[in-house]
Structure 1
Amino acid sequence: MLVDSHCHLDRLKIAPDEATLNAVLTDAQSLGISHFLCVNVRLQEFEAMQQRMMPFPNVLLSAGVHPLDVENGVSAADLRRFAQTDKVVAIGETGLDYFYSPDNKALQQQCFESQVEVAVELNKPLIIHTRDARQDTLDILNNGHAEKCGGVLHCFTESWEMAKAAMDIGFYISISGIVTFRNADALRDVVKKIPKERLLVETDSPFLAPVPHRGKENQPAFVKDVARFVAELRGESFDELAAYTTDNFFNCFKEAKPYR
């Protein structure tokens, strides 16, 4: 059994309706991928996303505002309301991105801080996006007492020092298909060091398709390619990695229940 711990199923071009999305998920399930966490990036899109995912009992949800989508700010009231609805197991994707959007750092920080506050209040784990903002990300997590709710640094591409600092406050580190890219040597060095009890795998589909699917739209089935690559990199069997990353998923997202 394997879990795609971070995907954007509502953004898949190959799955514009229920029938095609069912086919995508069925294909993934045939490869042993049992659960999927569909991650929200704009609160104004949450209800439509939730409605689309309701027919699929093994698709779990988050609610949050991505750092590249903060132009309208964050309604803490809406976030709190959505976060307490059916199937929502996490807050996010939130965080900081100074690589693509360096000009609105203050707004990003404000929106991130408010989402950390709601996550701690509701005891829902955070899904963190961070790029070129290592210290500010850690400072906001620490100052907001995010250790109380925990969470994951998703699609991780930062340093070992940042990974360790996040793990020290109870966060998990999730690895995407970027680890398979030719220029990802530094990331591969980090992945080798992550303790088994803190590692997750994901697709971030429809983005970042792993080798050997580069150039295609990413999809949940491809998390198996990520897991195989990571297992080989770490000198572990695929079955071992699949088992412990699945356990880690349910330990991180405590409100997620295995669907049989």
Structure 2
Amino acid sequence: MLIDAHIHLDKYKENDIPTLLEEAERVIAVSMNLLSSEKTLKLSKAYAKVKAAFGFHPEQPLPSEAEENALFDWIRQHAHDMVAIGEVGLPYYLRQEKAIDERPYVALLERFIGLAKELNKPIVLHAVYEDATIVCDLLEKHQLTKAHFHWFKGDATVIERMIHNGYFISVTPDCTYEAEIKQLIKKYPIELMMVETDGPWPFEGPFDNKRTSPWIMDHSIEVIASIKGLATHEAAQIITRNTTTFYNL
């Protein structure tokens, strides 16, 4: 029974959630926007295994000023109901699709980093490749150390910087078939590692056409254990302890 460090629980059918939660010790349920945050809050109240994170996913159009302020006000009002700010970050994949001005996204992320600092909460980050460098700059500027880069990908320089700063990453089931992720696991200390599904996002390889739910994290643990030269149960214990400590569960 593992902790899913990053799942969009509000995107599942309501009837599927009880069965899905039987597969995990706990889940960190992240949010996409205010409506998503409200749904995630309800799920955390309904199920003890669900720990909520509130934020605004960057791979979408920016909120209006009124919407942004409403979200920040709501998060402050419900700070005691959440374990982290998230999911927040920069729109790497959206930027691949069309030309967008990234500066407003950077400004919004910096505001979220300030909020995490204000509320003394960890932050859950969507920041890959060159975006991770920008995010590291902002985290260092605000001296926010409890940072979790979910489904991270990046070059050796930023990986070394993140390790030096003690930032956590979480590994998805694509580690079973992606050489890039296997290399990341090899480089990154297991003491700074978690596992996640990013469900309901679908995976390929052995998980093709299968519903994404916490059971598939077992495969991620097997890969991590093999790369790190550990028994599977040892890797599972370390990663569960990491997640428990990071999120103060």
TM-score, with length taken from structure 2:
0.89
In structure 2, the partner of 1:105 is 102
Residues 208 and 180 (structure 1), Cα distance of their counterparts in 2 relative to 1, 3 Å cut = farther
Which residue type is aligned with residue 175 of structure 1? V
**Aligned counterpart in structure 2 of residue 167 of structure 1, from 163, 168, 175:** 163
In structure 2, the partner of 1:185 is 179
Q: Secondary structure of the equivalent of 2:48? A: coil
Residues 141 and 70 (structure 1), Cα distance of their counterparts in 2 relative to 1, 3 Å cut = farther
User: 8 Å contact 1:163–1:173 — kept in the other structure?
Assistant: no
**Aligned counterpart in structure 1 of residue 217 of structure 2, from 214, 217, 223:** 223
Q: How many angstroms does 1:70 deviate by? A: 5.0
Q: How many angstroms does 1:203 deviate by? A: 0.7
Residues 70 and 63 (structure 1), Cα distance of their counterparts in 2 relative to 1, 3 Å cut = farther
Query: What stretches of structure 1 move > 3 A for 4+ residues in a row?
Result: none
In structure 1, the partner of 2:34 is 43
Specify every segment of 5 or more residues in structure 2 that has no aligned partner in the other structure, as ranges. none
Q: Which has the higher helix share?
A: 2
Which residue type is aligned with residue 143 of structure 2? H
Q: How many angstroms does 1:5 deviate by? A: 0.8
Q: Secondary structure of the equivalent of 2:80? A: coil
For 2:242 and 2:135, locate their aligned partners in 1 and report how far apart those are by CA, in whole Å. 22
For 2:19 and 2:230, locate their aligned partners in 1 and report how far apart those are by CA, in whole Å. 31
Q: Secondary structure of the equivalent of 2:31? A: coil
For 1:89 and 1:192, locate their aligned partners in 2 and report how far apart those are by CA, in whole Å. 29
Which residue type is aligned with residue 102 of structure 2? K
Matches within 5 A, 1:31-180: 33-72=24-63, 74-75=68-69, 76-82=72-78, 84-86=79-81, 88-101=82-95, 103-132=100-129, 133-147=131-145, 150-180=146-176
User: 8 Å contact 1:91–1:125 — kept in the other structure?
Assistant: yes
**Aligned counterpart in structure 2 of residue 25 of structure 1, from 14, 17, 21:** 21
Q: Secondary structure of the equivalent of 2:151? A: coil
Q: Secondary structure of the equivalent of 2:76? A: helix
Q: How many angstroms does 1:104 deviate by? A: 3.0
User: 8 Å contact 2:163–2:188 — kept in the other structure?
Assistant: no
In structure 2, the partner of 1:4 is 4
For 2:228 and 2:59, locate their aligned partners in 1 and report how far apart those are by CA, in whole Å. 33
Q: How many angstroms does 1:194 deviate by? A: 1.5
Calculate percent identity across the aligned residue pairs. Answer: 25
User: 8 Å contact 1:99–1:131 — kept in the other structure?
Assistant: no
For 1:212 and 1:51, locate their aligned partners in 2 and report how far apart those are by CA, in whole Å. 33
| Count, aligned residues | 240
Q: Secondary structure of the equivalent of 1:3? A: strand
Does 2:197 match 1:200? no
**Which deviates further from its counterpart, 215-224 or 192-201?**
215-224
Which residue type is aligned with residue 49 of structure 2? N
Q: Secondary structure of the equivalent of 2:47? A: coil
Q: How many angstroms does 1:178 deviate by? A: 2.2
